[in-house]
Structure 1
Amino acid sequence: MRARSGISILLGLVLAIAGMGGASAQQTIKVAYTDPLSGPFAQVGDANLKQMQYIIDFINAKGGALGKKFELVPFDNKSQPSDALIALKSATDQNMPFIMQCSGSNIAAALIDGVNKHNDRNPDNRIIYLNCGAVAPELTNEQCSFWHFRFDLHAAMKAEVMVRALPKETTKVYLINQDYLFGQSVQRELRTYLAKLRPDVQIVGDELIPLGKIKDFSPYITKIKASGAQALMTGNWGPDMNLLIKAGIDAGADLRYYTFYAHLAGGPTAIGAGGDGRVLSVMSFGENVAPELGNKEAEEFTKGFRDKHKFDFSAAGYRTIFEYLQAAVNKAGAVDATKIAFALEGMTIRDFLGFETTMRKDDHQLISEYFVGSFKKGVKYDAENTGLGWATAATVLAKDVDQPNTCKMKRPR
C-alpha cells in the first residue's frame, strides 16, 4: 500500500509539474521574427528588432491581449529563404501563432508557400504570417494567401507616390534597383507609372544590381552623371541604398534622389550634409510627422525610443501591426490562428497618428496613409546626429494610395 501510495504521489507531482509547464508556455503570445540579423543587411534587422521590442513593451504595458503579454522570438535568416523556412519550422514546432518578416520579397514568397503547406497539413497548429515590409505586389495578388497579412504599402503603391512627387521640371531619370523579386517589381512599377503619369519624362538609364554584392558604387555614379539624369529613382535598401547615395554625394553628382528607404537606419549617416534638400523618401512615418501634426502623444512615444536607442524611430507601421494583433486576438477570444485571421480581415483601426487604416479583406493588404519626406536642415528632430532630418513634403491619404488587386483567395471553412 505504501509503495502504491508513493507511486501515486510521484505521478501526481509529475503531472502537476507538466501541467505547470504547459500553463507557463501559454502565459505569453509568441511572435517569431525572422530577418537578417547577421551579414550585410544585419543593421536593418537589428534596427527592426529594437523598434519592435519597444512597441511590444508599450502594448504589453497596456494589457497585451486576453490578459497575456506578447513575446518576440528572433530568428536570423541571413537573408536566405532556406533559413527563413527553418525559422518557420522552429516556430510551428513551438506552436507559435505568428511569424513576422520584413526584409526580402523572395523570402516572403517562400514563407507564404511554407505557411500554406504547413497549415493545410496541420489544422490544429496553424500559423499566421505577418508581413511588415516585403512589398512585391505579387504577394497580395497572384500569390495572395488567407494566412498572409501585409502591413506596408506594396511597391506599386509606393511607386505611384514617388512618381507623383517628381517636380515638373524633372524630365530625365535613371533607375537602379536590386535584381530580385522586389527590385524587379519596383523597376516595373516605376516604368508603368512614369508612362502613365509623366509621359514627358525620359528614362535615360535602367539597371538591376546584384543584391548586397556591390561595395563601390562610383562606377554607377559615373554612368548616371554621363546620362544627363536629373534624378535617380531607387527601391534599394540596406547597404545597397546607403552606399549608392553616399557615392553620389561624395562625387558631387548634380542629382536628386527619390528613394523608398533612405530614411531607415544608416541612411541619414550615409547621406550626410551634402544631401541637404536633395533626397526624398517614401515612408510610413518620419520623426517630424508628429510635431508637424501637433500630435503630442505620438511625439512623446517616438522621442522615448530615440532617447533610449540613439537612432530614429521609423517603424510606426510596426506599432500598427501589434495594435491590430491586440484587437484581433481580443476579438477572436482565443489564441487561435484561424479565428484571429478571420478577425483581422476587414478590420479598421486608427493608427497612433490618428489616421484610419484598414486591413483589406480581398487581399489582406493594409491601406493606410503615407508620407514623402525631404532630407533637410531646419527640422525639429535631426536624423542620426547629422543636423538634417526628414521634413514632410507630402501626405498621401489612404484613399489616394488604394489600388485594385487580382487576388483570388481561398479561405478555410
Structure 2
Amino acid sequence: MPRAIKSVAFCAMLLSATASFAQKGETVKVAWLDPLSGLMAAVGTNQLKTTQFMVEEFNKKNTSGVKFELIAIDNKLSPQETTSALRSAMDQGARYVMQGNGSGPALAIIDALEKHNARNPGKELVYINYAAVDPDLTNSKCSYWHFRLDADTSMKMEALTTFMKDLPEIKKVYLLNQNYAHGQQVSKFAKQNLKDKRPDIEIVGDDLHPLAQVRDFAPYIAKIKASGADSVITGNWGSDLALLIKSANDAGLNNVKFYTYYAYGTGAPTAMGSGADGRVFVVGYGHYNMGGDIQRIMGEYKKKMNDDMVQTSIYHAFAMLDTAFVRARSTDPVKVAATMEGMKFKSFNGEIEMRKADHQLQQGLWITKWQKAGGKFPYDAENTGYTMAPVKYYESYVASTPTTCQMKRP
C-alpha cells in the first residue's frame, strides 16, 4: 500500500509538472499594428524595432518555453487601416495584438475584438495596449479583451501636478495639445488638477492643434511668449513634440519650462539638445537610467540598432504574457485573459499589478528632467550628451485613479 501511494503521488507530481509546461514549444503569433508611414513613422519604426528586439530577448529565455512570432503591419495611424490590418493579422493566425499610438486605432481594435470574439468562440484574440492612454479606454469604453500597460492620461497628470504644486515659481501655465482624445484629456485634467492643488496658478492659454499635421510651431511659440507663461503643459508626442521644442529653442524661449508626457520619445532629445537643459520635464513609468536588467537590454538595443529604446512598456507586454502562460498552463487567449485579471508580476520597475476592475496596469511613476548626462545618470539620449534624470518617484497609489468601468465578462 505505501508503495502504491508513493506511485500515485509521483504520477500526480509528474502530471502537474507536465501540465505547468503544457505550452512549452508552442509558437505564439503576436500582431503589431502601428504607423510606419506619415509624420509619426519615426515613432512607429522605433516601437517596431523595440518589439522585434523584445521578441528576440524573450525567445532566448522565457519561463513558459514558448516561441514568440511577430506579424508587423503599418496601420498608418488610421482607425480604418487598423481594422483592415487586424483582419490581415487574424488571417495569418495572430491570437494577440499589440498597438500603442492613438486612441482612434485603439478603439477600432477594441470594437473589432468585441464583435469577433463574441462570434467566433475558440478563435478569440487579446489586445495588449502599450501606449494609447485615453482614460475612456479603461472607463466607459473598457473591454474584457483589452489590457493597458501604460499609465493613462489622468494618472500621469495626477503625478505631474502633484510635482508642480510644490514649485512656487510656477505662476502662469500655457496648455498646448494635439486635437484628439488624449490631447483634449490632457487639457481637461491639467485645468482640473491645478485648480484643486494650486488655485493661484493662472491658465494663460489653452490651444489644440491638428494631430501630426503641423510642420511649423512658430505661431504657437509666439502666442506662448506673448502670454507671459512661465510653464507649458503638453501631451504632444512624436513630430508634434519634437517640432514644438525645436521652435521654442529657435525662438529663444529660454525662460519657459515644459512639463511633458513624451519628451523621451524619438526625435525629441535631438530637438531639445543643449538649448533645453534643465527646462524640460517628463512624467512616465520609466526613464533612461533605470539600472538593472532593463539597463542592460537598453544598452544592447542601442548598440545593435543605433537607436534608443524609449517604449519600455513593450517589455511589460512580454513579461506579462510569459507569466500568464505559466500560470494559465496555456497560451489560449481565453485562459490567459482570465489569468491576467488582477495578476501581479515582476517587470523592470518591481512588482506591478494588472487591476482586475478595468485592466489598467498599476505602477509607480517618475518625474525626470533633461540635463547633461554623467555621474549617476550616464545614458546618452540620441547621442546628444544629455539625458532624462529622475527627480521624483511616486508610488502607484499616488497616481492611481478610480474607474467607472462596468466590465462585461464572457
Q: Could you say whether these structures have the same fold, taking a TM-score greater than 0.5 normalized by the shorter chain as the test? A: yes
Q: Counterparts of 1:336-347 in structure 2 under 5 Å?
A: 336-347=332-343
Measure, in 1, the Cα distance between the counterparts of 2:142 and 2:282.
27
Q: Percent identity?
A: 43
Q: Counterparts of 1:7-406 in structure 2 under 5 Å?
A: 27-63=26-62, 65=64, 67-166=65-164, 167-253=167-253, 254-290=255-291, 295=292, 297-353=293-349, 355-379=350-374, 380-406=378-404
The residue type equivalent to 2:401 in the other structure is: Q
Measure, in 1, the Cα distance between the counterparts of 2:373 and 2:52.
31
Measure, in 1, the Cα distance between the counterparts of 2:337 and 2:401.
22
Task: Report the TM-score, using the length of structure 2 for normalisation.
Answer: 0.90
Measure, in 1, the Cα distance between the counterparts of 2:259 and 2:382.
20
* CA contact 1:95–1:125 (8 Å) conserved in 2: no
Task: Report the TM-score, using the length of structure 1 for normalisation.
Answer: 0.89
1:310: Cα distance to partner?
Answer: 2.2
1:316: Cα distance to partner?
Answer: 2.5
Q: What is the SS of the residue equivalent to 1:272?
A: helix
CA RMSD in angstroms comes to 1.3
* CA contact 1:35–1:79 (8 Å) conserved in 2: yes
1:27: Cα distance to partner?
Answer: 4.6
The residue type equivalent to 1:299 in the other structure is: Q
Measure, in 2, the Cα distance between the counterparts of 1:128 and 1:387.
40
Q: What is the SS of the residue equivalent to 2:397?
A: helix
Deviations 1:54-84 (A, max 9, x none): 112111111363x321111111000100011
Measure, in 1, the Cα distance between the counterparts of 2:196 and 2:259.
18
1:201: Cα distance to partner?
Answer: 0.9
Measure, in 2, the Cα distance between the counterparts of 1:198 and 1:32.
44
Measure, in 1, the Cα distance between the counterparts of 2:232 and 2:154.
18
Q: What is the SS of the residue equivalent to 2:128?
A: strand
Distance 1:95 1:231, change over 3 A: same
Q: What is the SS of the residue equivalent to 2:204?
A: strand
Aligned residue number for residue 16 of structure 1: none
* CA contact 2:161–2:190 (8 Å) conserved in 1: yes
1:163: Cα distance to partner?
Answer: 1.3
Measure, in 2, the Cα distance between the counterparts of 1:378 and 1:325.
34
Of residues 35-44 and 302-311 in structure 1, the stretch that sits farther from structure 2 once superposed is 302-311
Matched residue count = 380
Of residues 369-378 and 197-206 in structure 1, the stretch that sits farther from structure 2 once superposed is 369-378
Q: What is the SS of the residue equivalent to 1:289?
A: coil
Distance 1:106 1:381, change over 3 A: same
Measure, in 2, the Cα distance between the counterparts of 1:49 and 1:251.
34
Of residues 73-82 and 48-57 in structure 1, the stretch that sits farther from structure 2 once superposed is 48-57
Q: What is the SS of the residue equivalent to 1:384?
A: helix
* CA contact 1:144–1:407 (8 Å) conserved in 2: yes
